[in-house]
Amino acid sequence: MLLVIESTCDETAAALIDERLVVRGSSVATQDALHQRFGGVVPEIASRAHVERILPVIDECLRKAEASLPDVSAVAVANTPGLAGSLLVGVAAAKSLALALGVPLVAINHIHAHVYACRVASREDVFPCVGFVVSGGHSTLFDCASPLDFRVLGGTIDDAAGEAFDKTASLLGLSYPGGPAIEKVARSGDPKAFRFPRTFIHEDRLEFSFSGLKTAVRYAIAPQGSEVVPPPADSQLLADLAASFQQAVIDVLLAKVELALRRTGRDVLCVGGGVAANGAFREQLTVGMRRRGTRLHIAPRELCTDNAVMGAIAWERLRAGLVESLELDVVPGLER
């Protein structure tokens, strides 16, 4: 069985997965509470928390699977992209285990794994497809010819979609992580109350930019030039701002999905990443894909945010003989 370790950002996770992609055990320790008062992930705090949690998380995963270390036939770890200090903890743990157990070490691209969550959950062959990862660190569209052949079609030139949710939530006085907080408040708001910018929406380019949207929300709260931006006190105003912001993000995401499908001619779409947990996005995407006759896979909510189950993509690499030496290093930056 494959033991997967995930520590790219602020979730420490492990999963035990068999060769038929059946999940035997999975464990996730989130650090949301540690980063909440800073309104975002503090890298130093994240890496220290990973050090404390990694072994208990692996233990818990094995316990849930009613398995023990001798059952592990390969160890996989996400070594890119992510926070350097966070990645190091997972990679060091994975190397140590692979060495001690005398089993192969496999490297995982965390972003590709977000797409693969759809393969694990659907239990269907989803490739070839367009893969779309909308998370805290990435808004990236891929042309995925196979699980081992991902080509970047486009991504964000500034904030990722989840980052925009987090920063806007902070402006609105809502808690971290911002996505779930905005989604909740937006339910009682009018998405048409504010006409926020939808950058690049009509342009023939597969790029995203969300920094202007965040700034537009700021100016809707406090006039230009004011240094302090007090969160809106009126609850209906707050709900209208949240709903209008959320709809602006969704409109752009849907438009670029449409363009990516048209450009590639693919008829399957796989969506993952934390923002794909958003109910309004899921609903509107489902309607849109049904209308155009595209087969849609959205990862189940618990596999949208970071987890180790999606690291089952390592089975594909292992089968192709793509194993790593103990020299495996972390690659924090985004591949393009």
Q: Closest approach of Cβ 249 to ligand KG4, in Å?
A: 8
CA nearest neighbour of 189 among 146, 222, 237: 237
Q: Closest approach of Cβ 134 to Zn ion, in Å?
A: 10
Q: Mask of contacts with ligand KG4, 231-270, x by CB under 6 A?
A: ----------------------------------------
Residue 101, class by beta-carbon neighbours within 10 Å (0-12 exposed, 13-18 middle, 19+ buried)?
middle
Query: Any contact of residue 191 with ligand KG4 (CB under 6 A)?
Result: no
Burial 273-304 (b: 16+ CB within 10 A, else e): bbbbbbebbbebbeebbeeeebebbbbbeebb
| Cβ closest to ligand KG4, residue 143 vs residue 306 | 306
Pull the structure tokens for residue 116.
């693969």
Query: Any contact of residue 135 with ligand KG4 (CB under 6 A)?
Result: yes
Query: Any contact of residue 178 with ligand KG4 (CB under 6 A)?
Result: yes
- Stretch binding Zn ion (CB under 5 A), from 59-67, 192-200, 282-290, 303-311: 303-311
> In this structure, what DSSP letter does residue 107 have?
E
- Size of interface with Zn ion, in residues (CB under 5 A): 2
HSE-up (13 A, CA, CB side) for residue 175: 8
Pull the structure tokens for residue 128.
């070839």
Q: Closest approach of Cβ 39 to ligand KG4, in Å?
A: 11
The residue within the footprint of ligand KG4, chosen from 183, 240, 316, 324 (CB under 6 A), is: 183
Pull the structure tokens for residue 227.
């240094």
State which of positions 109-148 bind Zn ion (CB under 5 A): 135
Q: Closest approach of Cβ 62 to ligand KG4, in Å?
A: 23
The residue within the footprint of ligand KG4, chosen from 305, 310, 312, 317 (CB under 6 A), is: 305
**How many whole angstroms separate alpha carbon 246 and alpha carbon 280?**
8
Q: Closest approach of Cβ 268 to Zn ion, in Å?
A: 21
The residue within the footprint of ligand KG4, chosen from 180, 189, 191, 232 (CB under 6 A), is: 180
Q: Closest approach of Cβ 94 to Zn ion, in Å?
A: 17
The one of ligand KG4, Zn ion, none whose footprint includes residue 109, by CB under 5 to 8 A per kind, is: none
**How many whole angstroms separate alpha carbon 128 and alpha carbon 116?**
12
**Cα dihedral: 261, 264, 270, 271 (round 10):** -60
